[in-house]
């Protein structure tokens, strides 16, 4: 796989991971936690795929490699996805707590 194809895969899988994470958050906001969990698993799968390409990229670089704008952009996609996934996981946990508290209040 050439350099451009690796960059495309990083952008693709990073974007897919972010998208699935935000869909999971949308579901969690409606208290559909099973669906949210499925979507977070999908997001994680996409992130892992992207991370494999990131590893290929790192291993293919030599000491004289100069980062390109596309490489920086691709790296940003995958790392942003990772950060947002971690934050969304925490937000989903908070929504689960809110749901339990709301159930207690309504009893």
- The single residue of 13, 32, 51, 73 carrying the catalytic annotation is 73
The 3-class SS string of 27-66 reads HHHCCCHHHHHHHHHHHHHHHHHHHHHHHHHHHHCCCCCC
Residue 32 a catalytic site member: no
Report, as residue numbers or ranges, the catalytic residues.
Answer: 73
């Amino acid at each position: 796989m050439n350099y451009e194809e690796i960059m495309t895969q990083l952008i693709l899988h990073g974007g897919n991971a972010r998208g699935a994470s935000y869909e999971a958050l949308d579901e969690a906001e409606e208290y559909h936690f099973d669906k949210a969990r499925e979507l977070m698993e999908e997001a994680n799968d996409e992130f892992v795929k992207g991370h494999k390409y990131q590893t290929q990229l790192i291993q293919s670089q030599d000491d004289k490699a100069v980062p390109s704008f596309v490489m920086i952009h691709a790296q940003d996609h995958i790392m942003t996805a990772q950060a947002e996934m971690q934050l969304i996981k925490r937000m989903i946990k908070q929504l689960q707590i809110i749901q339990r508290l709301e159930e207690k209040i309504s009893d």
